[in-house]
Amino acid sequence: MLDAATLKAWIGAGRELAILDAREEGEFGHGHLFWAVPCPLSKRELRARALLPRLDATVVCVDGGEGYAEKLAAFLEGIGATDVHVLQGGTPAWEAAGYVVFTGVHVPSKAFGEWVEHHYGTESLDAAELDALVKAGTDLVILDSRPMDEFHRMSIPGGVNVPGGELAYRIADLVPNAETTIVVNCAGRTRSIMGAESLRQAGVPNKVVALRNGTMGWELAGLQVARGQSASYPPGTPVTAGLALERAMGFAARTGVRECTRAEAEAMRAAPSRTTYALDVRALDEYAAGHIPGFRHAPGGQLVQATDQWIAVRGARVILADNDTVRARMSAAWLRLMGGWEVFVVTDPLSGPLETGPWVPSLTHTPSAPTVTPEALAAETGVTVVDLARSIDFRAGHIPGSVWAVRGRLPEITGPVVITAPDPLLAHLAAAETLGARVLEGGVSAWRAAGLPLATDRQNPPDEACVDWYLRPYDRNSGIEEAMHAYLSWEVDLVHEVARDGDAPFGAW
Q: Which amino acid is at 201?
A: Q
Task: pLDDT band for 509, please (50, 70, 90 cuts).
Answer: low
The β-bridge partners of 376 are none
Domain 249-346 has CATH 3.40.250.10: yes
Please tell me the number of Cα atoms within 13 Å of 500 on its side-chain side: 11
Whether the per-residue pLDDT at 233 is higher than 70: the answer is yes
Whether the per-residue pLDDT at 253 is higher than 70: the answer is yes
- Give 457-465 contacts, CB < 8 A, sequence gap 24+: 457/395, 458/395, 459/395, 460/394, 460/395, 460/404, 461/391, 461/394, 461/395, 461/404, 465/391
pLDDT, tens digit, 9 for 90 and up, residues 382-412: 999 999 999 999 999 999 999 999 999 999 9
pLDDT, tens digit, 9 for 90 and up, residues 456-484: 999 999 999 999 999 999 999 999 999 99
For CATH 3.40.250.10, the residue range(s) in the chain are 4-105, 111-244, 249-346, 371-465
CB 344 within 8 A of CB 321: no
Task: pLDDT band for 22, please (50, 70, 90 cuts).
Answer: very high
Percent of the chain exceeding pLDDT 70 equals 100
Q: What is the Cα–Cα distance from 179 to 5, expressed in whole angstroms?
A: 55
Average pLDDT over residues 250-278: 97
Average pLDDT over all residues of the chain: 96
pLDDT, tens digit, 9 for 90 and up, residues 410-419: 999 999 999 9
CB 116 within 8 A of CB 33: no
pLDDT of amino acid 365: 79
Whether the per-residue pLDDT at 5 is higher than 90: the answer is yes
pLDDT, tens digit, 9 for 90 and up, residues 298-346: 999 999 999 999 999 999 999 999 999 999 999 999 999 999 899 999 9
- Give 430-435 contacts, CB < 8 A, sequence gap 24+: 430/386, 430/388, 431/367, 431/369, 432/367, 432/369, 433/407, 433/408, 434/386, 434/410
pLDDT of amino acid 311: 98
Task: pLDDT band for 89, please (50, 70, 90 cuts).
Answer: very high
Q: What architecture does CATH give domain 371-465? A: 3-Layer(aba) Sandwich (3.40)
Average pLDDT over residues 223-240: 97
Whether the per-residue pLDDT at 364 is higher than 90: the answer is no
Percent of the chain exceeding pLDDT 90 equals 96
Predicted TM-score (pTM) of this structure: 0.96
Pairing of the two strands 417-420 and 438-440: parallel
According to CATH, the topology of domain 111-244 is Oxidized Rhodanese; domain 1 (3.40.250)
Task: pLDDT band for 134, please (50, 70, 90 cuts).
Answer: very high
CATH among 3.40.220.10, 3.40.250.10, 3.40.50.300, 3.40.50.150 for 4-105: 3.40.250.10
